[in-house]
Amino acid sequence: MPDTRWRELSDYRIEMAKETLKTAVILYKIFLNDREVKDRKDVCGLNPTVRDTVYRFKAAAGVSGVDAVMAEYIQGTDITSDLKTVHMKIKEIAAINYAIVNKALMKYPIYKFNTLRSYFPNITSTRQFITDDEYLGAVRIDIQSKDEHPAIGTLYAAAFYVLGIIASSISGIEETYRGTKTFKAMSIKDVFRNKTVNYTNPHDGGIGISQNDTSVNSYWKIDLSTEEWFVYTDNYGTSEEKAFVAFFSGYVADLRKIYSHIYLVRNERAFHIYSFEDGERFEPDYVLFLQRDKADGFEQLQIFIEPKGTQLLEKDAWKEKFLLQLKTEAVPITIFVDDNDYKIWGFHFFNQDKRMKEFDSEFTALIGK
């Protein structure tokens, strides 16, 4: 049988995009945090990236529960269509029959209570670990089966499968981290630089395509090389990013009535920050700088912004939670004391389907409406 991989690869178009900085923003400071090792006694739950993941399980008809897992997820066996999907949290399965989850849990040595406490010293019982939202309780499984209400065997197989994934995540823990709440000042010119980025298979106005390309939605099409508020000469981000940049452009005139300097910067692997809860690395897609003059200096707002496709809202919920913590938790630190006032904020995700009310209200607040 001929190998089709090379033919498939040859169908891709590789595009080199040059992201060139304009010079006006180089004197600014950007505030970034670091991460530090967290004492195990301070760990009060599963890592959010494990806890907030939506796990999917598809039951095969005519085989045992464990065999269903093997057929679907390891061998890739095709399974009959016309299945019903039920969304269940582990605590909901336990509420139906606690023994279902407990039996599946005990199949993995890492869940023996003494071993479990070495990773999570604040748990008081196996039941708490199963039912508490900070641990397994809120873990969601989308179960596909032929039944409108999954059978006991299917629930067991689903729990067994997901608990296996989580067991691997726990056993891989060597050190636990948290992001620091102090954000240290760095010079913009040391963080953002001119660069050439290679994009594979750019098409249909998405990632790797210029914001001014003919394939871009006409409502989003902008020649950013002429816009002083956008720090790079173009935007090669996703369609959701382009929608955000177009949305932002509609606020610029009102922002100029309040702020003397306005700069929006796209982050293409230039910087990262760490979540407060578990030190998870996060690269927000954009950072917005707003400067308002004062009698004895200026006020600088630094706002992290993340456009997010609808399919990723649940998976990346921890990122949105982190962004919303910044306003009250992040503390900007400068090397030299000055009379300027620095603030670090984060907004809700920008998502055209499910976040526009929240996001628009945050932008409206910036212009005092």
In tens, the pLDDT along 34-63 reads: 999 988 888 899 988 899 889 999 987 544
Neighbour tally for 69: CB within 10 Å = 21
CA dihedral angle for residue 240, residue 246, residue 251, residue 255, rounded to 10 degrees: 90
Amino acid 15: pLDDT: 61
What percentage of the chain reaches a pLDDT higher than 90? 66
**Residue 204: per-residue pLDDT:** 67
Tokens coding 335 = 């090397």
Residues in the chain: 369
For residue 13, the tally of other CB atoms under 10 A from its CB is 11
In the prediction, which pLDDT does 83 show? Answer: 83
In the predicted model, is pLDDT for residue 69 greater than 80? Answer: no
Closest Cα to residue 222, out of 202, 204, 244?
A: 244
Contact 234, 241 (CB under 8 A): no
Say yes or no to pLDDT of 75 above 50.
no
> Is residue 325's pLDDT more than 70?
yes
Mean pLDDT of the chain: 86
Question: Minimum mean pLDDT among 58-67, 293-302, 307-316: which range?
Answer: 58-67
Number of other CB atoms surrounding residue 1 within 10 Å: 3
